[in-house]
Structure formats: C-alpha cells, structure tokens
Structure 1
Amino acid sequence: MAVYGGIQGHELERWLNALTNAAYDRRCPLSKVHGGNARARTARQDLLYLAHGFRGGEQSRDVVADGLGRWCQHYLTEAEWYVLVGDSAKPRTTRQAPVASSASHDEVDDALEVLMQHRVG
C-alpha cells in the first residue's frame, strides 16, 4: 500500500501547477496514468476540475487540498509520489496503481527521471 502525505492548503497552488504540468508532459508517466489514454483523460479532467474549483473560488483551499490528496492516491504510484514530493531517497519502482503497466524497469526509471522536473518539494 502506498504511503501518501497530506497536501497542505498553503502548498495547493504549487501542487496544482506541478501535477497539471506533469499530466500534460508526454514524456512523463502521468501522461499515461498506468492504464491507457482513457484513464489519462479522466485523470486530467479530474485534476482540471479541482484546479477550476480552487481558482474560481468555488471551493476552499482545504477542500481542494483534500480532493487533490485523494487524486494522488488514486492516480499516482508510490514512486511517483516520492519523486513529486522531492524525497532524497530513491523511490521504489513497484507499481501500486490499480491498472498495472507492462513497462520495463528501465522505462519506469526513465519516466521517473522526467517526472523529477515537475517536483513540488
């Protein structure tokens, strides 16, 4: 089971920017979201809905931060989470997402290197 920390309200704008950029970066694992194009579109749509609710003033920071935390648990692997957080330890590259990918170990490591450009921490 992946271990995800809570996203704080004061970090919300940085998280939304980083995740949105990563979700649309075709070199990044978030562009595929471990299950194909349909799942990736749904993930991006959910992310944009959260961003719109926050930036449009429709939802409070805390509500959106909580929703974004659930988004991360649903769509990110543990390794991707630790890369985005900026953890100095090398994350494990085992898949924790509901839909398993057939990518090789080297491809996963390369994708995580690209993801490092979108780190929040």
Structure 2
Amino acid sequence: MASLSSAALVTVETFAGAMGLPARASPDGSYAFRFARSGTLSITPASDDRVVMSLAWMPERRDASGPRQLLAAASHDPATGRYLHTGMAPDGSFVVAVNLDQRHLDLPTLDQWLRRLLDLRSAFG
C-alpha cells in the first residue's frame, strides 16, 4: 500500500492545523477533509511517489447537461503541466482530481490546487 512521504505528511498536517481540522489517516493512508459547503477534499497516496488530490461534492443542479459538462472539463492545464481529471462517483457526486508528485507537495502547492478544484466546484455547482 502506498503511503505519504514524511514531507508530504507534514504538509497535510500543517494544512489541517491551519484549517482547524484534525488530520486523521484512513486505513488506506488517505486523508479526507469535509467542508460544509464545498464538499470533501481527499489526499490519497498513490504508487510511484505520487498523490491524488480530489474534491467531491453532490451537485446542486440536477440538469442533464451537468455530467457532460463536468466530463468535458477534463483537460491538460498548460500553466501547471498537470492533467485535470473529472468524473462521477456511484452516488452521483461530482469529482475533480489532480495527480501531484509527493516531493513537490508543499503548502503553497496544496493551496493552489485546492483553489483550482474549488473554482471548478463553483462552476459546476
């Protein structure tokens, strides 16, 4: 099972502390932070020293075009060189995610991607 590096773990714990949230690892080594209006932010260790950062939420609008628009938003972000992944969970929640190198996971990077994921959440309600 993949795990967070010591440096990535410090970043996650610092983020949680700044947000006033507990940093508790799940059995799979992931960390989840539930926000009242924004959804659930998950930070999950992956193979080859990567981490998946995702935001999941139940859409407020239930029109038929929502899922299509969400899936169409998957793209390469030329500014960061990262690919933005989008999808839907079995419960109907929308998910946006990005893969990051653990060695580059610091507080500014986590904050930058959280803001980007929250912007997408706002766009898709």
Query: TM-score scaled by structure 1?
Result: 0.28
Larger helix proportion of the pair: 1
Determine which structure has more spread, i.e. the larger CA radius of gyration.
2
* Structure with more contact order per residue of length (Cα contacts < 8 Å, sep ≥ 6): 1
Larger strand proportion of the pair: 2
